[in-house]
Every structure is written in C-alpha cells, then in structure tokens.
C-alpha cells in the first residue's frame, strides 16, 4: 500500500510543478497588462490537483484500469486552474495572451460562453500544455484551465452544490431556476461592462480636459 501511495505521489509531482509554473506565467501576463494598460484582468486564481482516489475513480468510470499509465494518457484535468475575471472581455484578452506565448501550447478550447451548456453553464475551458523542467529532462504536462467572470463563477458554484446535493438528479423547478439565473448572469455581465466603460470614458474625458486647460494656461503665461 505504501509503495502504491509513493508511486501516485511521484506521478502527481510534475502536475503540481505545472500548476506552479502556469500560475507564475499568468501573474506575469496580468502584471504586464496592469502596467501597460492600467487595468487588472483577474480577480483571483484557484488551483487544484486531483487525488489518487479521484483519478482512479474517474478511470474506472471510463471503463479503464486505474493505472498511472492510463491516467497519464487519458486524463487531461488532473491539474486544474480556475481564473476569475471582472468582465467577459477580460476572459478573451487573457486567452489571447496565453495563445501568444511561446512557452505554452493550447491544445483544446471549449467556449461555453459563446455557446453555453443546456443548463446555462458559462466558462471558457482550455487544455494547456505546460513545459516543466525536471532533473530527468523537460516534461509537457496537461493542465485544464477554466476562465470565467465573477458572475459566472458565482452561478457555477451554486450549481455545483445543488448538483451534488441531489446526486446529479436535480428537480425540474430548480433546473428551470438555474437556467433563468444563468440568463440573468449574462445580462448582468453585459450591463456591468457597459457601466464600467462609461465610467472609464468619463474619466478619460476629464483627464484630457484638465490637460488642455493646463496647456492653455501655460500659453497665456
């Protein structure tokens, strides 16, 4: 049993390193954008690593033997990262930044924002290959990345709790309520972005006006 635990622990170590690497890269992208554009792309980042038990359970559910080899070849969500952004446009800006990096490779994209799931779920899902330098060489590790707004994250958190409370058999009236809430989330995201842009526009106009007045004052002198 101890030998089996050690085997899984060794297997999961590169996935932990991949999450550390990716988090550092995301922070660099965000800080650079904040410096250049004076805007923050993210609210927070969460990471998670599946346990050996959850990996084996998933493999068995897929009809495979719960081995390290099968996990490595068939599971792409052993390491996961969730990035929560203020606005929908930030989701795609961050996605574009990740696409343009030479030290990351996006191998799969599922856009549940433009094409929500039937229950209303919205998020941008990516499978990213992250290079990790180990003593034995470079390994390319898969990490599942979910990028979504604060409002989408709140909805997904509630849906997750309900899903497990009812063991995936959600009553029809709750399903209907969740779908209506998902529509409200979309409206809220769009409305808050409009308000944000309007405030930013007013601020920019005010700054330009102040600079013009200062320039005119200087010419008078």
Q: What is the total count of domains within the chain?
A: 1
> Is 185 within a domain?
no
| pTM for the whole structure | 0.85
Supply the DSSP symbol for 66. Answer: -
Is residue 90 included in any domain, yes or no?
Answer: yes
Residue 206 lies in a domain: no
Answer yes or no: are the C-beta atoms of 133 and 141 closer than 8 Å. no
Q: 13-49 pLDDT, tens per residue?
A: 999 999 999 999 999 999 998 888 777 889 999 999 9
Annotated catalytic residue, options 32, 37, 38, 144: 144
Task: Name the nearest CA neighbour of 5 among 70, 64, 56.
Answer: 56
Q: Is residue 178 part of a domain?
A: no
pLDDT for 198 equals 85
pLDDT digits (tens, 9 = 90+) for 80-136: 999 999 999 999 999 999 999 999 999 999 999 999 999 999 999 999 999 999 988
Is 22 inside a domain boundary? yes
In the block, residue with structure tokens 């495979």 = 64
Looking at the chain, the number of H-run helices and the number of E-run strands are 6, 5
Q: Are 120 and 179 in contact (CB under 8 A)?
A: yes
Distance CA 29, CA 14 (A): 22
- What backbone phi and psi angles, to 5 degrees, belong to 147? -120, 125
73 a catalytic residue: no
Is position 46 within any domain? Answer: yes
Per-residue pLDDT tens over the stretch 127-140: 999 999 998 899 99
Q: Is residue 140 in some structural domain?
A: yes
CATH of the domain at 55: 3.30.460.10
Range of the domain at 96: 2-151
Residue 169 domain-assigned?
no
């Amino acid at each position: 049993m101890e030998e089996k635990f050690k085997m899984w622990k060794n297997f999961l170590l590169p996935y932990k390193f991949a999450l550390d690497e990716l988090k550092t890269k995301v922070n660099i992208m965000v800080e650079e954008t904040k410096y250049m554009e004076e805007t923050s792309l993210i609210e927070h980042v969460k990471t998670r690593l599946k346990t050996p038990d959850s990996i084996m359970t998933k493999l068995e559910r897929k009809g495979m033997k719960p081995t390290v080899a099968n996990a490595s070849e068939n599971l792409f969500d052993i390491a996961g990262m969730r990035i929560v952004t203020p606005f929908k446009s930030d989701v795609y800006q961050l996605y574009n930044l990740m696409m343009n990096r030479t030290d990351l490779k996006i191998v799969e994209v599922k856009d549940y924002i433009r094409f929500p799931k039937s229950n209303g779920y919205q998020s941008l899902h990516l499978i990213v290959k992250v290079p990790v330098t180990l003593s034995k060489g470079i390994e390319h590790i898969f990490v599942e990345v979910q990028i979504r707004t604060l409002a989408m994250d709140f909805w997904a958190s509630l849906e997750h709790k309900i899903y497990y409370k009812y063991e995936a058999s959600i009553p029809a009236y709750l399903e209907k309520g969740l779908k209506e809430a998902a529509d409200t989330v979309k409206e809220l995201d769009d409305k808050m972005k409009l308000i944000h842009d309007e405030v930013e526009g007013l601020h920019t106009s005010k700054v330009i006006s102040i600079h013009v007045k200062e320039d005119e004052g200087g010419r008078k002198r």
